[in-house]
Amino acid sequence: MRGLPDRGWLRRTVLIAVITALVVGVVLATRGTEGGHRAANRAQLRKACDGTLPYGDLARLVPDGRRGELRQYGTMLAPDRDSRSLLDCSLSFGDGLGVTVHAEALVSDVPEEMKTRELLDPSGGEGTFVAPGTTGQYGRHGAWLVADCRGGLAGRARPTTDLYVRAEVTTEGGAEGGGRADRSGRERATALAGFRTAVHVANAITASQHCGGAPLPMPTDVVDTYEAHAKKGRWRSERIDEPSRDLRKCRWISGPSLRGVKSGRWTSLGDLQESGGLSACVGDWDEEAEENDGESAKEWEITGVEAASWSGILGRSAYDAYEREGNVPGWGADENADENADQKADQEADGKKDGPSEGESGPGGDKGEDRISSYASRPQLALWARSVCGGRATYHRVSVLPEVRFDDGDTAVLGAKDRARFSTVVRAVLDRYLRSDDAWPRSAGCRDTKVLGEVEQWH
Protein backbone atom coordinates (compact mmCIF):
# COMPACT_ATOMS: atom_id res chain seq x y z
CA MET A 1 0.00 0.00 0.00
CA ARG A 2 3.02 2.12 -0.39
CA GLY A 3 2.35 5.50 -2.07
CA LEU A 4 -1.06 6.13 -0.56
CA PRO A 5 -1.29 9.41 1.45
CA ASP A 6 -1.56 9.31 5.19
CA ARG A 7 -5.20 10.02 5.94
CA GLY A 8 -4.40 11.59 9.32
CA TRP A 9 -2.04 14.05 7.73
CA LEU A 10 -4.67 14.93 5.14
CA ARG A 11 -7.26 15.56 7.82
CA ARG A 12 -4.84 17.82 9.69
CA THR A 13 -4.06 19.74 6.51
CA VAL A 14 -7.73 20.30 5.76
CA LEU A 15 -8.40 21.42 9.33
CA ILE A 16 -5.54 23.93 9.23
CA ALA A 17 -6.80 25.30 5.92
CA VAL A 18 -10.30 25.71 7.31
CA ILE A 19 -9.04 27.46 10.45
CA THR A 20 -6.82 29.77 8.36
CA ALA A 21 -9.75 30.66 6.13
CA LEU A 22 -11.90 31.42 9.14
CA VAL A 23 -9.20 33.64 10.67
CA VAL A 24 -8.66 35.51 7.40
CA GLY A 25 -12.39 35.94 7.04
CA VAL A 26 -12.73 37.34 10.55
CA VAL A 27 -9.82 39.73 9.96
CA LEU A 28 -11.27 40.95 6.70
CA ALA A 29 -14.70 41.33 8.21
CA THR A 30 -13.29 43.23 11.17
CA ARG A 31 -11.24 45.43 8.91
CA GLY A 32 -14.29 46.15 6.81
CA THR A 33 -16.27 47.41 9.79
CA GLU A 34 -13.63 48.97 12.04
CA GLY A 35 -10.66 49.91 9.90
CA GLY A 36 -9.14 50.34 6.47
CA HIS A 37 -11.01 53.51 5.50
CA ARG A 38 -8.17 56.01 5.38
CA ALA A 39 -7.52 55.76 1.64
CA ALA A 40 -11.22 56.03 0.79
CA ASN A 41 -11.70 58.89 3.25
CA ARG A 42 -8.81 60.83 1.79
CA ALA A 43 -10.17 60.35 -1.71
CA GLN A 44 -13.51 61.59 -0.41
CA LEU A 45 -11.81 64.63 1.15
CA ARG A 46 -10.23 65.56 -2.18
CA LYS A 47 -13.60 65.55 -3.96
CA ALA A 48 -15.84 66.88 -1.20
CA CYS A 49 -17.30 70.39 -1.36
CA ASP A 50 -16.71 70.55 -5.11
CA GLY A 51 -13.00 70.00 -4.52
CA THR A 52 -12.60 73.32 -2.67
CA LEU A 53 -11.20 72.01 0.63
CA PRO A 54 -7.48 72.38 1.49
CA TYR A 55 -6.43 68.73 1.37
CA GLY A 56 -2.93 69.40 2.70
CA ASP A 57 -4.31 71.02 5.85
CA LEU A 58 -7.12 68.56 6.54
CA ALA A 59 -5.65 65.18 5.57
CA ARG A 60 -4.32 64.74 9.12
CA LEU A 61 -7.93 64.63 10.38
CA VAL A 62 -8.83 61.66 8.23
CA PRO A 63 -9.20 58.53 10.39
CA ASP A 64 -8.83 54.90 9.42
CA GLY A 65 -11.50 53.42 11.64
CA ARG A 66 -14.66 55.10 10.32
CA ARG A 67 -16.09 55.93 6.94
CA GLY A 68 -16.61 59.64 6.34
CA GLU A 69 -20.15 60.98 6.01
CA LEU A 70 -20.61 63.69 3.37
CA ARG A 71 -23.58 66.04 3.07
CA GLN A 72 -23.47 68.80 0.48
CA TYR A 73 -25.66 70.97 -1.71
CA GLY A 74 -25.65 74.39 -3.40
CA THR A 75 -25.59 75.90 -6.86
CA MET A 76 -21.92 75.02 -7.37
CA LEU A 77 -22.96 71.36 -7.19
CA ALA A 78 -26.35 71.70 -8.89
CA PRO A 79 -26.40 74.91 -10.99
CA ASP A 80 -29.96 74.33 -12.21
CA ARG A 81 -31.42 74.13 -8.72
CA ASP A 82 -32.45 77.22 -6.81
CA SER A 83 -30.46 77.62 -3.60
CA ARG A 84 -29.50 80.47 -1.34
CA SER A 85 -26.05 78.92 -0.97
CA LEU A 86 -23.25 78.52 -3.43
CA LEU A 87 -22.02 75.70 -1.25
CA ASP A 88 -23.15 74.02 1.96
CA CYS A 89 -20.92 71.10 2.81
CA SER A 90 -20.28 68.96 5.86
CA LEU A 91 -17.78 66.10 6.05
CA SER A 92 -17.82 64.19 9.34
CA PHE A 93 -15.58 61.35 10.53
CA GLY A 94 -17.15 60.95 13.96
CA ASP A 95 -15.53 61.45 17.37
CA GLY A 96 -15.51 65.23 16.90
CA LEU A 97 -13.55 65.11 13.64
CA GLY A 98 -14.79 66.97 10.58
CA VAL A 99 -15.16 70.13 8.56
CA THR A 100 -18.20 72.27 7.72
CA VAL A 101 -18.28 74.96 5.04
CA HIS A 102 -20.90 77.50 4.02
CA ALA A 103 -20.48 79.93 1.12
CA GLU A 104 -23.02 82.35 -0.31
CA ALA A 105 -23.26 85.28 -2.65
CA LEU A 106 -24.44 88.08 -0.35
CA VAL A 107 -27.49 89.99 -1.50
CA SER A 108 -28.29 91.24 2.01
CA ASP A 109 -26.27 92.20 5.08
CA VAL A 110 -23.27 90.32 6.38
CA PRO A 111 -24.59 87.95 9.09
CA GLU A 112 -22.07 89.24 11.63
CA GLU A 113 -21.74 92.21 14.00
CA MET A 114 -20.37 95.30 12.27
CA LYS A 115 -20.65 98.20 14.74
CA THR A 116 -17.48 99.95 15.90
CA ARG A 117 -17.13 98.49 19.37
CA GLU A 118 -18.14 95.04 18.17
CA LEU A 119 -15.26 95.02 15.71
CA LEU A 120 -12.87 95.74 18.59
CA ASP A 121 -14.58 93.86 21.39
CA PRO A 122 -16.22 90.81 19.79
CA SER A 123 -18.03 87.95 21.49
CA GLY A 124 -19.44 90.14 24.22
CA GLY A 125 -16.07 91.24 25.52
CA GLU A 126 -14.45 87.80 25.65
CA GLY A 127 -12.49 88.21 22.46
CA THR A 128 -11.80 85.95 19.53
CA PHE A 129 -9.11 85.27 16.93
CA VAL A 130 -8.43 87.16 13.71
CA ALA A 131 -6.10 86.43 10.82
CA PRO A 132 -4.40 89.71 9.83
CA GLY A 133 -5.00 90.48 6.17
CA THR A 134 -8.36 88.69 6.20
CA THR A 135 -11.67 90.54 6.55
CA GLY A 136 -13.29 88.36 9.16
CA GLN A 137 -13.16 86.85 12.62
CA TYR A 138 -13.33 83.53 14.41
CA GLY A 139 -16.48 82.79 16.39
CA ARG A 140 -18.62 80.05 17.83
CA HIS A 141 -19.40 78.66 14.39
CA GLY A 142 -15.89 78.77 13.01
CA ALA A 143 -14.02 81.35 10.95
CA TRP A 144 -15.88 83.72 8.65
CA LEU A 145 -14.67 86.10 5.99
CA VAL A 146 -15.91 88.40 3.25
CA ALA A 147 -14.21 88.53 -0.14
CA ASP A 148 -14.70 90.63 -3.28
CA CYS A 149 -15.81 89.07 -6.52
CA ARG A 150 -15.71 92.17 -8.72
CA GLY A 151 -16.68 90.23 -11.84
CA GLY A 152 -19.94 89.14 -10.22
CA LEU A 153 -21.14 85.90 -8.63
CA ALA A 154 -23.44 83.50 -10.45
CA GLY A 155 -26.13 81.42 -8.84
CA ARG A 156 -28.50 84.11 -7.53
CA ALA A 157 -31.23 86.04 -9.31
CA ARG A 158 -29.95 89.33 -7.91
CA PRO A 159 -26.40 90.25 -9.02
CA THR A 160 -23.79 90.69 -6.32
CA THR A 161 -20.03 90.99 -5.99
CA ASP A 162 -19.71 89.99 -2.32
CA LEU A 163 -18.77 86.50 -1.19
CA TYR A 164 -19.31 85.27 2.36
CA VAL A 165 -17.60 82.09 3.57
CA ARG A 166 -17.75 80.39 6.94
CA ALA A 167 -15.64 77.34 7.80
CA GLU A 168 -15.43 75.26 10.97
CA VAL A 169 -12.80 72.59 11.51
CA THR A 170 -13.35 70.34 14.52
CA THR A 171 -10.91 68.04 16.25
CA GLU A 172 -11.40 65.85 19.32
CA GLY A 173 -13.44 67.87 21.81
CA GLY A 174 -14.81 70.17 19.13
CA ALA A 175 -13.90 73.73 18.19
CA GLU A 176 -14.50 76.64 20.50
CA GLY A 177 -14.92 80.23 19.45
CA GLY A 178 -15.11 83.26 21.69
CA GLY A 179 -12.62 82.90 24.41
CA ARG A 180 -10.88 82.87 27.72
CA ALA A 181 -7.67 84.53 28.65
CA ASP A 182 -5.64 81.30 28.73
CA ARG A 183 -6.32 80.06 25.20
CA SER A 184 -4.61 76.77 24.50
CA GLY A 185 -2.46 76.00 21.52
CA ARG A 186 -5.20 73.66 20.30
CA GLU A 187 -7.72 76.50 20.14
CA ARG A 188 -5.29 78.65 18.21
CA ALA A 189 -4.53 75.80 15.82
CA THR A 190 -8.25 75.12 15.33
CA ALA A 191 -8.91 78.79 14.58
CA LEU A 192 -6.04 78.89 12.08
CA ALA A 193 -7.35 75.73 10.38
CA GLY A 194 -10.77 77.39 10.10
CA PHE A 195 -9.33 80.54 8.53
CA ARG A 196 -7.12 78.59 6.12
CA THR A 197 -10.09 76.48 5.06
CA ALA A 198 -12.30 79.56 4.55
CA VAL A 199 -9.61 81.31 2.50
CA HIS A 200 -8.96 78.21 0.40
CA VAL A 201 -12.68 77.82 -0.31
CA ALA A 202 -13.09 81.52 -1.13
CA ASN A 203 -10.16 81.46 -3.55
CA ALA A 204 -11.47 78.31 -5.20
CA ILE A 205 -14.89 79.90 -5.69
CA THR A 206 -13.60 83.21 -7.05
CA ALA A 207 -11.31 81.32 -9.43
CA SER A 208 -14.13 79.10 -10.69
CA GLN A 209 -16.43 82.13 -11.06
CA HIS A 210 -13.73 84.11 -12.92
CA CYS A 211 -14.20 87.10 -10.62
CA GLY A 212 -10.86 88.70 -11.35
CA GLY A 213 -8.45 90.16 -8.82
CA ALA A 214 -5.75 88.54 -6.73
CA PRO A 215 -6.57 85.60 -4.44
CA LEU A 216 -6.71 86.14 -0.70
CA PRO A 217 -3.39 85.52 1.07
CA MET A 218 -3.27 82.26 2.99
CA PRO A 219 -3.03 82.97 6.76
CA THR A 220 0.00 81.61 8.56
CA ASP A 221 -0.98 82.67 12.08
CA VAL A 222 -3.86 84.13 14.08
CA VAL A 223 -3.95 86.85 16.73
CA ASP A 224 -5.88 86.57 19.97
CA THR A 225 -7.97 89.73 20.29
CA TYR A 226 -8.61 89.11 23.98
CA GLU A 227 -5.06 90.20 24.62
CA ALA A 228 -6.08 93.59 23.27
CA HIS A 229 -7.82 94.39 26.57
CA ALA A 230 -5.31 95.78 28.99
CA LYS A 231 -5.67 98.28 31.81
CA LYS A 232 -8.91 98.39 33.65
CA GLY A 233 -10.97 101.20 32.17
CA ARG A 234 -14.48 102.11 31.21
CA TRP A 235 -14.75 99.40 28.59
CA ARG A 236 -11.63 97.21 28.90
CA SER A 237 -10.77 94.27 31.07
CA GLU A 238 -7.53 93.70 32.95
CA ARG A 239 -4.85 92.24 30.70
CA ILE A 240 -1.17 92.87 30.05
CA ASP A 241 -0.53 92.21 26.37
CA GLU A 242 -2.10 94.59 23.88
CA PRO A 243 -1.53 93.74 20.22
CA SER A 244 -4.20 96.28 19.25
CA ARG A 245 -2.91 99.14 21.39
CA ASP A 246 -1.36 102.20 19.79
CA LEU A 247 -1.63 100.87 16.25
CA ARG A 248 -0.15 103.19 13.67
CA LYS A 249 -3.51 103.71 11.99
CA CYS A 250 -5.01 104.90 15.30
CA ARG A 251 -2.25 107.18 16.57
CA TRP A 252 -4.07 110.25 15.27
CA ILE A 253 -6.31 109.87 18.35
CA SER A 254 -4.46 111.68 21.08
CA GLY A 255 -4.98 114.69 23.29
CA PRO A 256 -2.37 116.94 21.61
CA SER A 257 -3.62 116.16 18.10
CA LEU A 258 -7.33 116.75 18.72
CA ARG A 259 -8.57 120.15 19.80
CA GLY A 260 -11.55 120.28 22.12
CA VAL A 261 -10.99 116.96 23.91
CA LYS A 262 -9.65 116.29 27.41
CA SER A 263 -5.93 117.13 27.50
CA GLY A 264 -3.35 114.62 28.67
CA ARG A 265 -2.49 111.04 27.86
CA TRP A 266 -4.88 109.04 25.69
CA THR A 267 -4.90 105.32 24.90
CA SER A 268 -5.98 104.13 21.46
CA LEU A 269 -6.99 100.68 20.30
CA GLY A 270 -7.73 99.42 16.79
CA ASP A 271 -9.01 96.33 15.06
CA LEU A 272 -6.42 93.77 14.00
CA GLN A 273 -7.93 92.56 10.74
CA GLU A 274 -5.67 94.73 8.52
CA SER A 275 -8.51 94.76 6.04
CA GLY A 276 -8.99 96.77 2.89
CA GLY A 277 -12.74 96.72 3.52
CA LEU A 278 -13.09 97.99 7.07
CA SER A 279 -11.25 99.62 9.94
CA ALA A 280 -12.04 100.70 13.50
CA CYS A 281 -10.23 102.84 16.08
CA VAL A 282 -11.25 104.09 19.51
CA GLY A 283 -9.48 106.32 21.98
CA ASP A 284 -10.03 107.03 25.67
CA TRP A 285 -8.51 109.56 27.98
CA ASP A 286 -6.35 107.41 30.26
CA GLU A 287 -7.03 108.40 33.84
CA GLU A 288 -4.44 105.89 35.07
CA ALA A 289 -1.59 107.23 32.93
CA GLU A 290 1.28 108.86 34.81
CA GLU A 291 0.79 112.14 32.96
CA ASN A 292 -2.83 112.27 34.12
CA ASP A 293 -2.15 111.31 37.74
CA GLY A 294 -4.39 113.18 40.13
CA GLU A 295 -6.65 114.59 37.42
CA SER A 296 -10.28 113.83 36.80
CA ALA A 297 -12.50 114.72 33.89
CA LYS A 298 -14.97 117.54 34.33
CA GLU A 299 -18.58 117.18 33.37
CA TRP A 300 -19.12 117.31 29.58
CA GLU A 301 -15.39 117.12 28.81
CA ILE A 302 -14.82 114.79 25.86
CA THR A 303 -12.97 111.72 27.10
CA GLY A 304 -13.67 109.27 24.29
CA VAL A 305 -13.45 109.15 20.48
CA GLU A 306 -14.55 106.53 17.98
CA ALA A 307 -13.89 106.20 14.25
CA ALA A 308 -14.75 103.43 11.81
CA SER A 309 -15.10 102.84 8.07
CA TRP A 310 -16.86 100.10 6.13
CA SER A 311 -16.80 99.53 2.35
CA GLY A 312 -19.28 97.81 0.05
CA ILE A 313 -21.53 95.23 1.69
CA LEU A 314 -19.79 95.86 5.00
CA GLY A 315 -20.83 99.51 4.86
CA ARG A 316 -24.44 98.66 4.14
CA SER A 317 -24.43 96.10 6.95
CA ALA A 318 -23.00 98.57 9.47
CA TYR A 319 -25.39 101.33 8.43
CA ASP A 320 -28.36 98.98 8.74
CA ALA A 321 -27.20 97.87 12.19
CA TYR A 322 -27.15 101.46 13.44
CA GLU A 323 -30.38 102.27 11.63
CA ARG A 324 -32.23 99.51 13.47
CA GLU A 325 -31.46 101.42 16.66
CA GLY A 326 -32.41 104.79 15.15
CA ASN A 327 -28.80 105.97 15.13
CA VAL A 328 -28.28 107.19 11.56
CA PRO A 329 -28.73 110.71 10.11
CA GLY A 330 -32.30 111.64 9.35
CA TRP A 331 -33.81 108.68 11.17
CA GLY A 332 -37.16 109.74 12.59
CA ALA A 333 -36.96 113.12 10.80
CA ASP A 334 -40.61 112.99 9.68
CA GLU A 335 -41.77 112.17 13.19
CA ASN A 336 -39.67 115.01 14.62
CA ALA A 337 -41.03 117.43 12.03
CA ASP A 338 -44.59 116.50 12.94
CA GLU A 339 -43.80 116.86 16.63
CA ASN A 340 -42.22 120.29 16.11
CA ALA A 341 -45.23 121.40 14.09
CA ASP A 342 -47.56 120.29 16.87
CA GLN A 343 -45.43 122.08 19.47
CA LYS A 344 -45.46 125.27 17.40
CA ALA A 345 -49.22 125.15 17.04
CA ASP A 346 -49.64 124.66 20.78
CA GLN A 347 -47.26 127.55 21.53
CA GLU A 348 -49.09 129.89 19.17
CA ALA A 349 -52.38 128.92 20.75
CA ASP A 350 -50.95 129.74 24.19
CA GLY A 351 -49.31 132.93 22.99
CA LYS A 352 -45.79 131.44 23.30
CA LYS A 353 -43.82 132.41 20.20
CA ASP A 354 -40.30 132.55 21.58
CA GLY A 355 -39.24 129.04 20.59
CA PRO A 356 -38.89 125.81 22.53
CA SER A 357 -39.20 125.77 26.27
CA GLU A 358 -36.45 124.69 28.64
CA GLY A 359 -35.49 121.07 28.17
CA GLU A 360 -36.69 120.94 24.54
CA SER A 361 -34.75 121.06 21.29
CA GLY A 362 -35.80 123.52 18.62
CA PRO A 363 -35.89 122.71 14.88
CA GLY A 364 -33.14 123.52 12.42
CA GLY A 365 -30.25 122.64 14.75
CA ASP A 366 -30.81 125.56 17.15
CA LYS A 367 -30.52 123.56 20.36
CA GLY A 368 -31.66 124.47 23.83
CA GLU A 369 -31.06 122.38 26.92
CA ASP A 370 -31.34 118.65 26.47
CA ARG A 371 -31.97 116.06 29.14
CA ILE A 372 -29.99 112.82 28.93
CA SER A 373 -31.45 109.81 30.70
CA SER A 374 -29.29 107.63 32.91
CA TYR A 375 -30.63 104.71 30.88
CA ALA A 376 -28.87 105.98 27.75
CA SER A 377 -26.17 103.58 26.60
CA ARG A 378 -22.82 105.38 26.21
CA PRO A 379 -24.14 108.88 25.34
CA GLN A 380 -22.28 110.31 22.35
CA LEU A 381 -22.59 112.57 19.34
CA ALA A 382 -21.85 110.80 16.05
CA LEU A 383 -21.16 112.21 12.58
CA TRP A 384 -21.60 110.16 9.42
CA ALA A 385 -19.96 110.64 6.02
CA ARG A 386 -19.76 108.71 2.75
CA SER A 387 -16.82 108.36 0.35
CA VAL A 388 -15.56 106.24 -2.49
CA CYS A 389 -12.65 104.14 -1.21
CA GLY A 390 -10.86 101.63 -3.39
CA GLY A 391 -13.64 102.01 -5.95
CA ARG A 392 -16.38 101.07 -3.49
CA ALA A 393 -18.99 103.13 -1.66
CA THR A 394 -17.81 103.54 1.94
CA TYR A 395 -19.43 104.79 5.12
CA HIS A 396 -17.46 106.59 7.82
CA ARG A 397 -18.71 107.13 11.35
CA VAL A 398 -16.91 109.17 14.02
CA SER A 399 -18.20 110.09 17.45
CA VAL A 400 -17.22 111.95 20.61
CA LEU A 401 -18.11 110.68 24.07
CA PRO A 402 -18.40 113.22 26.89
CA GLU A 403 -18.08 112.73 30.63
CA VAL A 404 -21.70 112.53 31.82
CA ARG A 405 -22.75 112.78 35.45
CA PHE A 406 -26.19 111.93 36.72
CA ASP A 407 -26.27 113.90 39.95
CA ASP A 408 -29.96 113.39 40.56
CA GLY A 409 -29.77 109.75 39.56
CA ASP A 410 -32.13 110.04 36.62
CA THR A 411 -31.02 112.67 34.11
CA ALA A 412 -28.15 114.97 33.19
CA VAL A 413 -28.80 118.39 31.65
CA LEU A 414 -26.78 119.22 28.52
CA GLY A 415 -26.62 122.94 27.82
CA ALA A 416 -26.70 124.62 24.43
CA LYS A 417 -23.04 125.73 24.56
CA ASP A 418 -21.73 122.25 25.35
CA ARG A 419 -23.93 120.76 22.63
CA ALA A 420 -22.57 123.25 20.09
CA ARG A 421 -19.02 122.44 21.22
CA PHE A 422 -19.61 118.74 20.62
CA SER A 423 -20.70 119.53 17.08
CA THR A 424 -17.51 121.49 16.42
CA VAL A 425 -15.27 118.80 17.88
CA VAL A 426 -16.91 115.86 16.10
CA ARG A 427 -16.42 117.62 12.76
CA ALA A 428 -12.76 118.24 13.66
CA VAL A 429 -12.43 114.53 14.50
CA LEU A 430 -13.84 113.56 11.10
CA ASP A 431 -11.48 115.93 9.29
CA ARG A 432 -8.52 114.61 11.26
CA TYR A 433 -9.51 111.01 10.54
CA LEU A 434 -9.92 111.58 6.81
CA ARG A 435 -6.70 113.57 6.40
CA SER A 436 -4.25 111.74 8.65
CA ASP A 437 -1.50 110.09 6.61
CA ASP A 438 -1.56 106.97 8.78
CA ALA A 439 -5.33 106.56 9.17
CA TRP A 440 -7.29 104.05 7.10
CA PRO A 441 -9.08 106.50 4.72
CA ARG A 442 -5.77 107.72 3.26
CA SER A 443 -4.42 104.20 2.83
CA ALA A 444 -7.69 103.16 1.15
CA GLY A 445 -7.57 106.08 -1.28
CA CYS A 446 -10.87 107.61 -0.17
CA ARG A 447 -12.24 110.48 -2.26
CA ASP A 448 -15.44 112.42 -2.96
CA THR A 449 -16.43 112.57 0.69
CA LYS A 450 -19.89 113.85 1.57
CA VAL A 451 -20.92 114.61 5.16
CA LEU A 452 -24.31 113.02 5.86
CA GLY A 453 -25.18 114.46 9.24
CA GLU A 454 -25.07 114.16 13.02
CA VAL A 455 -26.77 111.70 15.33
CA GLU A 456 -27.45 112.38 19.00
CA GLN A 457 -27.08 109.01 20.68
CA TRP A 458 -28.39 109.91 24.09
CA HIS A 459 -32.15 109.69 23.67
What's the whole-number mean pLDDT along residues 323-338? Answer: 72
How far apart are the C-alpha atoms of 442 and 436, rounded to whole Å? Answer: 7
Question: What CA–CA distance (Å, rounded) separates 212 from 210?
Answer: 6
Delimit the domains of the chain by residue range.
38-224, 232-344+365-457
Note whether 133 and 217 are within 8 A (CB).
yes
Q: Which helix (H) or strand (E) holds 198?
A: helix 185-208
pLDDT digits (tens, 9 = 90+) for 159-202: 788 999 999 999 865 444 444 444 578 889 999 999 999 999 99
pLDDT in tens, 345-402: 444 444 444 433 333 343 334 457 888 988 888 899 999 999 999 999 999 999 999 9
Over residues 14-39, the pLDDT tens digits come to: 555 544 555 445 444 444 444 688 89
Is residue 1's pLDDT more than 90? no
Could you write out the three-class secondary structure of 223-259?
A: EEHHHHCCCCCCCCCCCCCCCCECCHHHCCCCCCCCC
Mean pLDDT calculated for residue range 44-68: 92
**Contact status, residue 208 vs residue 154, Cβ threshold 8 Å:** no
Dist. CA 24–CA 6, nearest whole Å: 27
Nearest to 214 by CA among 141, 147, 135: 147
List CB contacts of 285: < 8 A, sequence separation 6 or more: 255, 261, 262, 264, 265, 266, 292, 297, 303, 304
Give the 3-state secondary structure of residue 394. strand
Q: How far is CA 118 from CA 45, 107, 239, in A?
A: 35, 22, 18
Q: How many CB atoms lie within 10 A of CB 274?
A: 16
Q: What is the mean pLDDT of the chain?
A: 81
Give me the DSSP letters along 42-97: HHHHHHHHHHTS-HHHHGGG--SSS--EEEEESTTT-TTS--S-SEEEEEEEETTE
